[in-house]
Amino acid sequence: MVSLKPLRCKGIYATISIVMVKTKKKASVIKKVQLHEKDTGSSFAQVGILSTRIDELAKHLKTHKKDNHSRRGLLKMVADRRSHLKYLERTNKSGYDTLVKKLELK
């Protein structure tokens, strides 16, 4: 999480927190679920990255309960992950099952 300088907004100081997945953490998640050595864009890798981002954003929202802009992004990521998982379940059932176990989703 990166904190930026306070902003002056209608007489109120507000700090902006940006939730991002660090490059090393992202690489380790991809390595955990990748299909082959150079796999970074398959549905397996995308589900892994989205799951990591969802976990970090959920932790952020527990402390910043009124951050509705980030909440909307979280809902969009959850929907995106769900559509990837539906696709995997439909096309590669065994791969779907192993991915769900690796990421501890269900």
Tens digit of pLDDT for each residue in 93-103?
999 999 999 99
| pLDDT on residue 71 | 95
- Domain boundary assignment for the chain: 21-103
What's the mean pLDDT in 1-26? 60
Give, in order, the Cα–Cα distances in Å from 61 to each of 39, 40, 57, 71: 31, 28, 6, 7
In which band, very low, low, confident or very high, does the pLDDT at 9 lie, cut at 50, 70 and 90? low
Tens digit of pLDDT for each residue in 48-98?
999 999 999 999 999 999 999 999 999 999 999 999 999 999 999 999 999
Asked if 46 and 84 touch (Cβ cutoff 8 Å), the reply is yes
**Superfamily grouping for domain 21-103:** S15/NS1, RNA-binding (1.10.287.10)
Alpha helices in 1-92 (DSSP H): 23-33, 43-63, 68-91
